[in-house]
Amino acid sequence: MNGIATLLAISCLLLLGSSRLLVSIRMVAFQGVLLGLLPLFVAGSGHIGAAALILTITNIGLKSILLPWLLTRALFESGARREIEPFIGFGASIMAGVVLLAISGYIVNRLQSTAEISSSITLIAGFFMVFSGLFLLITRRKALTQTLGFLVLENGVFTTGLSLGSEFSVYVELGILLDVFVGIFLMGIMLFHIDREFDHLDVDRFNELSDLTVDVASNEEASE
């Protein structure tokens, strides 16, 4: 349990620091596997119910096989390999990640007096994943990385939910998983379309959309 939470936190930090998109996708897939294992541990050894098993299988199937495959395809279609320098650099991102980790530790520490928490470290990891997902969404320029940020955010919500309640509702979790699947699927389709229309996935440049071709050309020169 502690080991999984620690690995989740470390994979988030790696995600914040990696500039290669393929590595980022693999990292999110790895998080999916860890998340899939989590319900088995929460259920407690001895009585692993069918519910936990279903959740594990759907989680791993969805988050570490299907969605990464989809995103990898989008990646190869677009031909982009690397994230360009984000608004906050990679080194600074990791430092920000450490600060976020400390903040989540502080929040959980405050929560401990009021809520019933089965594992505070898993909860810290959950909060940290939510924060780092948001951080990725805000600071990265490529649509693909933002999608990954959304996925990490959702992973964080899942982890937080698991560590807060002693028992989880399979139907709610499965519903959320379906939601996420549809969401990421739509985002994948959007990625294809953005790529086909503009030849890049750089969301930042959408700020300067205009019909004037001259404008766009000069903007592109400036950003190159």
Partner 1 sequence: MISPSSILICLVMIVLSPLLPGIINKTKAFFGGRQGPPVLQLYLDIAKLLRKTSVYSQTTTVVTRIAPFVILFSTLAAALLVPVAFRGAGVSFTGDIILLAYLLGIGRFFMVLAALDTGSAFEGMGAAREVLYSALAEPALFCGLLVLISETSQTSLSAIYEKLTAECWWQNPMTFLLIAVSWMIVLLVENARIPIDDPNTHLELTMIHEVMILDYSSKDLALIEFAGAVKLAVFSSLLVGLVFSGNELSLPLQLLAFAAAMALVAIVVGVVESTIARFRLLHVPKFIVGSGALAIIALILKLSGN
Among 15, 121, 152, 191, binds partner 1 (CB under 8 A): 121
Nearer Cβ to partner 1 (38/124): 124
* 111 contributes a contact to partner 1 by CB under 8 A: no
User: Interaction with partner 1 in 46-85: which residues (CB under 8 A)?
Assistant: none
166 is a contact residue toward partner 1 (CB under 8 A): no
Q: Is the dihedral of CA 173, 175, 176, 178 positive or negative?
A: positive
> What letter represents residue 107's amino acid?
I
C-alpha 145/C-alpha 121 separation (Å) is 26
Question: Site for partner 1 (CB under 8 A): which residue of 98, 178, 186, 209?
Answer: 98
The count of other CB atoms within 10 Å of the CB of residue 125 is 31
CB of 177 to partner 1, least distance (A): 28
Neighbour tally for 40: CB within 10 Å: 16
Asked if 88 interacts with partner 1 (CB under 8 A), we say no
Q: Which two tokens stand for residue 198?
A: 């503009």
Q: Which of 91, 115, 189, 193 binds partner 1 (CB under 8 A)?
A: 91
160 by Cβ neighbours in 10 Å (0-12 / 13-18 / 19+) ranks as: buried
The residue from 22, 33, 58, 90 that contacts partner 1 (CB under 8 A) is 90
- Pick the piece of the chain touching partner 1 (CB under 8 A) from 48-56, 69-77, 105-113, 182-190: 105-113
Residue placing its CB nearer to partner 1 in the complex, 54 or 103: 103
Distance separating alpha carbons of residues 167 and 41, to the nearest angstrom: 12
Annotate 69-95 with DSSP letters as a single string: HHHHHHHHHHT--BPPP-SS-HHHHHH
- Annotate each residue in 10-39 with x if it binds partner 1 (CB under 8 A) or - if it does not, as one string: x--xx--x----------------------
Smallest Cα–Cα separation from 12: which of 148, 167, 216? 148
Does the CA dihedral 149-154-159-165 come out positive or negative?
Answer: positive
Q: Is 173 helix (H, G, I), strand (E, B) or coil?
A: helix
CA distance 15 to 59: 20
Verify binding: residue 100, partner 1, rule CB under 8 A.
Answer: no
| Sole binder of partner 1 in the list 54, 95, 107, 134 (CB under 8 A) | 95
Q: Which of 108, 148, 180, 187 binds partner 1 (CB under 8 A)?
A: 108
Using the rule CB under 8 A, give the single segment among 6-14, 65-73, 190-198, 199-207 that binds partner 1. 6-14
Q: Which residues bind partner 1 (CB under 8 A)?
A: 2-3, 6, 9-10, 13-14, 17, 90-91, 94-95, 97-98, 101-102, 105, 108-109, 119-121, 124
